[in-house]
A and B are shown apart, each in its own frame.
Chain A
């Protein structure tokens, strides 16, 4: 596809379960970002991948959160032992390089019951 895609679009899970969110960046984009958008709060940076460099994980809120990216393709964000405060829209963005315009996907709306 032409844009960033994310799946699933919606995820409802029970507290304590693990979830995996997927992001397909625009082909050729070397940089990939994950953000969290909670109701009433601004976007929070979670993690940044740039090419083969070590990812910047400084925004991950706890060790329950992890993300992987294979090469310059798909990325997965995993949340273990989900909590109600993890409920949010998780947005992925990609850019051609580290300083270029970020293109966002539609997000995954996560609801933890």
Chain B
């Protein structure tokens, strides 16, 4: 079965640089969630989209923005990167925003030097 695809899998950036993370949900899934997992921590919700509209927002810094496109893939744009942004970024998708099971991608490991 098709899974959630995230790219790139690993990303190394310098402080103050910009990064773009991409997420391709499971086919027919119209809802996408982004989570950030710091070292030794639990995943924290950043933002979600349903049918290309933002549906909820969590602890996402103003330096970050995201959108969902017409093909339902989503991109997380991160600017003015800080050392503390180093983390594993997960994308998850569901077929229906009403609390269906979220299936996670493999994550993008971002390292900021």
Question: Are A and B interaction partners?
Answer: no
Interface of A toward B, CB cutoff 8 Å: none
Interface of B toward A, CB cutoff 8 Å: none
